[in-house]
């Protein structure tokens, strides 16, 4: 498996494949790879001739320096997993200077409100950091397709907006959320959960499923009340629960016909922050 760390080498490798008519897929990650990431690699491998995986813990998307410091990193284990999935994957694992030069700074984007709600509201600057690194990565890799998980559904909407703003020649593909058998969404952060929090964490998804059921015939206010009550006595601390329009991500108080809605949740299990979401209709 090829592991590239600098720009010209990965750009040239991709350009050669393109000359041969290959369709290039790209899966950006921050490493600490798990089955959730693997589902994206497999999704991409089924649809593209050549798949590039980037591994880069992007400093500008962390609004909390402790979160950045404690973010799990294990490049060796990541490469072993990638090799097992498919030795033909191209891996791009740059250093911070390779991406940012000497200015570790986000670009200011106008995402028309998409970045002001939920993750954007609780993690100021997060999406500007995500968009900045993706703009740079897209410029380096120049893929035909890029694959993102619905696990980070708001991020997926931001990426679509970034591509429209920057007029980037890449098609964005959303991939379904991969879960543990007990329903917990796979996440690099799960490995930091204490045993007791790991045992209780599937409650997040079971509550979302119940919220989905209630959404059919109760008011949005009732669904909010149910979720707030459900977490009141839990060791998991609810940061937010939101029902929003699935494309604009606007907060919704009442359901409109022909609109698609989604529920979003963020929870603290000790100092580990977990997010999840579900389509409601």
The nearer residue to ligand AMP, 61 or 220, going by C-beta atoms, is 61
Q: How far is the CB of 62 from ligand AMP (least distance, A)?
A: 11
* Per-residue tokens: 247: 């494309």
Does the active-site annotation cover 180? Answer: no
Whether residue 30 contacts residue 53, with contact meaning beta carbons closer than 8 Å, is answered with: no
The residue among 153 and 214 lying less far from ligand AMP, judged by its C-beta, is 153
Structure tokens at 189: 């952060």
Within the chain, residue ranges assigned H as helices are 7-19, 35-47, 65-70, 75-85, 96-100, 119-122, 126-141, 153-166, 195-200, 203-217, 220-232
Measured distance CA(75)–CA(33) in Å, rounded: 9
Phi/psi for 242 (5° steps) reads -140, 140
Q: How far is the CB of 253 from ligand AMP (least distance, A)?
A: 28
Backbone angles phi, psi at 266, to 5 degrees: -135, 135
Smaller CB separation from ligand AMP, 170 or 214: 170
Q: How far is the CB of 209 from ligand AMP (least distance, A)?
A: 16
Q: Which is catalytic among the residues 2, 17, 34, 37?
A: 37
132 three-state secondary structure: helix
Q: Provide the 10 A C-beta neighbour count for residue 220.
A: 18
**Residues 238, 243, 248, 252: is their CA dihedral positive or negative?**
negative
Judged by beta carbon, residue 223 or residue 269, the one nearer ligand AMP is 269
* Smallest distance, ligand AMP to C-beta of residue 175, A: 6
Q: Which residues contribute to the site for ligand AMP (CB under 6 A)?
A: 29-30, 36-37, 39-40, 148-149, 151-152, 175, 177-178, 185-188
Residue number with the smallest Cβ distance to ligand AMP: 149
CB of 257 to ligand AMP, least distance (A): 30
Sheet holding 236-245, edge to edge: 236-245, 261-269, 272-279
**Contact (CB, 8 A) for 243 and 280:** yes
The residues carrying an active-site annotation are 37
């Amino acid at each position: 498996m090829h592991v590239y760390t600098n720009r010209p080498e990965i750009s040239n490798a991709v350009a050669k494949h393109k000359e041969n008519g290959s369709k290039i897929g790209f899966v950006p990650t921050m490493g600490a790879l798990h089955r959730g990431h693997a589902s994206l690699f497999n999704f991409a491998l089924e649809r593209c001739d050549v798949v590039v995986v980037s591994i880069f813990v992007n400093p500008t998307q962390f609004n909390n320096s402790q979160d950045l410091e404690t973010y799990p990193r294990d490049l060796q284990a990541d490469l072993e997993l990638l090799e097992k999935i498919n030795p033909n994957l191209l891996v791009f694992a740059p250093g911070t200077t390779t991406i940012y030069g000497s200015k570790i700074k986000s670009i200011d984007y106008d995402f028309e409100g998409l970045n002001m709600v939920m993750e954007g509201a609780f993690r100021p600057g997060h999406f500007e950091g995500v968009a900045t690194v993706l703009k740079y990565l897209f410029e380096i890799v120049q893929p035909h397709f890029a694959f993102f998980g619905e696990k980070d559904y708001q991020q997926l909407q931001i990426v679509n907006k970034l591509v429209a703003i920057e007029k980037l020649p890449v098609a964005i593909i959303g991939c379904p959320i991969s879960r543990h058998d007990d329903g917990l969404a796979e996440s690099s952060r799960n490995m930091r959960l204490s045993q007791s929090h790991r045992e209780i964490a599937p409650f997040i998804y079971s509550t979302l499923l119940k919220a989905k059921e209630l959404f059919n015939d109760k008011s949005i206010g009732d669904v909010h009340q149910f979720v707030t009550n459900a977490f009141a006595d839990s060791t998991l601390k609810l940061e937010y629960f939101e029902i929003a329009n699935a494309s604009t991500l606007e907060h919704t108080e009442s359901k409109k016909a022909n609109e698609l809605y989604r529920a979003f949740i963020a929870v603290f299990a000790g100092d580990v922050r977990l997010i999840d979401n579900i389509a409601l209709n």
